[in-house]
């Protein structure tokens, strides 16, 4: 999931760096930042341990991850308390992170052997029938995971777990804003006797740069601006990257939608985690015929939302003043340009980084709230009249992470969905595509490169493919070798041309 604030914020290195609770501003702990000069040595040690981890095999690695899962279950209350303290989340928002990691371990551990098994490939033509082709998945030595602050635990381990199961060593750098939960979980890996193939380092830009400069694969979740910098830096060593970046997810409410369900979804999808979710609902387009009803339902529900950290169903704090200012700027700019705030519209006075849940109407695409990633508890709603119009509006964005389409006619919804420029479209739901582990989660345009999950691809992305081409029948010489008779090579090439031409005949009709 994505953040508009950066993981790569440059700051001086001290002995320890304080971590504050955004709900009240209090210092709740501190971590020592890693010296960037130490990163190459840490990566070297992880690379040294990786071959034995690979030889353990998918089943053996799965057993270790199963022990890790049990530790997570046993320590969930402690982890969640730490998580809520450093993010200002509500209890429910913080409570989804550990279960989501457990679901990933439960899905991938039993299937890793199947997903990583060598694959036999058929011959491409009769001429190649003498060759046996097998494709193997070989794990990369060290995977670097740079994770953001909005889901400090989930987003890091959504990538750490598949990389470990694939046979890689992993180096995790959490956001410097929320390092304490990951530090706690790293100790859990040691407590279960996990081998030295997983480490956590702390710091800001310099540590992230050192990680990019030394690992064999980068998985980054964060802003589009930082993702571009990482890709540029990784290109120096041709290090492959997978980037989940910004989003401005549209919600398209068609005239035959279940209005009540759509309204409930819009509120939850925009306010969950205080709107600090990569696939949150950031803009809504509602058909003229149901617009007023939809807006009334949304406003009634938003007005009843509870605000506060650590509560069951509530809208929690923004991560810091910088993120709060982004939200406030978008709202103020929209209102000054003619929009109306039917709820909220300002930060909540007092201590902590809380912003009142805000419903905006009379918005259009000239406003920042409809074009830039807000990443906060706002819900801009715009009316439309034609299906072609709403598709064009939804695609009028530099982002393309996900979207949702609402209609009782599923064929119509799917037809609209297939015209949207984004990686995933939910029909009559929001956000839940992230729980569908067989579906790839990745963005188009400025929303990223590559994807996470996607069934077998969720493990194979951390591997390099190695093809073994074995000769079934061996002869003293081959047609193109210098040692063969001079007439044989032209005959072999002519035969290959005839075979190819014959295969293409049906397509020339």
* Catalytic residue numbers, as ranges: 244, 278
Element housing 185 (H / E)? helix 180-191
CB-count burial class (<10 Å; 0-12, 13-18, 19+) for 306:
exposed
Residues in the chain: 509
CA distance 245 to 229: 12
CA distance 216 to 47: 10
Nearest to 182 by CA among 262, 87, 55: 87
Helix (H, G, I), strand (E, B) or coil at 53: helix
Neighbours of 499 (CB within 10 A): 13
CB-based contacts of 487, cutoff 8 Å, min separation 6: none
CA distance 386 to 336: 28
- CA 261 to centroid of chain Cα atoms: 26
Helix (H, G, I), strand (E, B) or coil at 370: helix
Largest distance between two CA atoms of the chain: 90
What is the phi/psi pair of residue 218, to 5°? Answer: -120, 125
CA distance 210 to 10: 13
What is the phi/psi pair of residue 427, to 5°? Answer: -105, 120
Using CA atoms, how far residue 271 sits from 133, 306, 407, in Å, is: 51, 11, 22
């Amino acid at each position: 999931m994505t953040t508009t604030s950066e993981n790569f914020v440059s700051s001086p290195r001290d002995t320890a760096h304080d971590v504050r609770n955004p709900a009240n501003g209090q210092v709740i702990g501190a971590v020592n930042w890693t010296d960037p000069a130490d990163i190459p040595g840490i990566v070297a040690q992880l690379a040294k341990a990786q071959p034995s981890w690979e030889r353990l095999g998918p089943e053996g690695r799965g057993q270790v991850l199963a022990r890790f899962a049990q530790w997570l279950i046993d320590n969930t209350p402690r982890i969640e308390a730490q998580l809520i303290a450093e993010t200002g989340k509500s209890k429910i928002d913080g409570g989804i992170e550990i279960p989501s990691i457990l679901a990933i371990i439960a899905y991938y551990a039993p299937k890793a052997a199947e997903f990583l098994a060598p694959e036999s490939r058929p011959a491409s033509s009769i001429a190649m029938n003498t060759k046996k082709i097998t494709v193997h998945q070989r794990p990369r030595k060290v995977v670097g995971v740079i994770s953001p602050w909005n889901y400090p635990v989930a987003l890091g381990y959504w990538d750490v777990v598949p990389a470990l199961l694939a046979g890689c060593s992993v180096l995790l750098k959490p956001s410097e804003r929320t390092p304490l939960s990951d530090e706690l979980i790293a100790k859990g890996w040691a407590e279960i006797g996990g081998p030295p193939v997983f480490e956590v380092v702390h710091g800001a830009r310099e540590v992230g740069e050192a990680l990019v400069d030394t690992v064999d694969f980068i998985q980054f979740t964060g802003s589009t601006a930082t993702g571009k910098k990482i890709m540029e830096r990784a290109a120096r060593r041709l290090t492959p990257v997978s980037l989940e970046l910004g989003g401005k997810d549209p919600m398209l409410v068609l005239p035959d939608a279940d209005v009540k369900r759509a309204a409930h979804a819009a509120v939850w999808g925009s306010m969950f985690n205080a709107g600090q979710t990569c696939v949150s609902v950031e803009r809504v387009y509602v058909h003229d015929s149901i617009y007023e009803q939809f807006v009334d339902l949304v406003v009634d529900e938003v007005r009843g939302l509870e605000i506060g950290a650590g509560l069951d169903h509530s809208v929690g704090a923004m991560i810091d003043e910088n993120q709060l200012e982004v939200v406030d700027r978008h709202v103020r700019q929209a209102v000054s340009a003619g929009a109306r705030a039917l709820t909220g519209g300002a930060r909540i006075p007092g201590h902590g980084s809380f912003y009142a849940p805000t419903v905006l109407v009379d918005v259009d695409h000239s406003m920042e709230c409809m074009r830039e990633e807000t990443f906060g508890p706002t819900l801009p709603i715009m009316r439309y009249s034609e299906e072609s119009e709403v598709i064009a509006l939804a695609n009028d964005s530099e982002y393309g992470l996900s979207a949702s389409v609402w209609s009782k006619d599923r064929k119509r919804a799917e037809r609209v969905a297939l015209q949207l420029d984004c990686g995933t479209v939910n029909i009559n739901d929001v956000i839940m595509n992230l729980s569908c582990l067989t579906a790839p989660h990745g963005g188009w345009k400025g929303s990223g490169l590559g994807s996470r999950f996607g069934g077998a691809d969720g493990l194979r992305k951390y591997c390099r493919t190695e093809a073994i081409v074995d000769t079934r029948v061996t002869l003293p010489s081959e047609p193109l070798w210098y040692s063969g008779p001079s007439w044989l090579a032209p005959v072999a090439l002519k035969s290959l041309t005839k075979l190819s031409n014959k295969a293409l005949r049906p397509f020339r009709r």
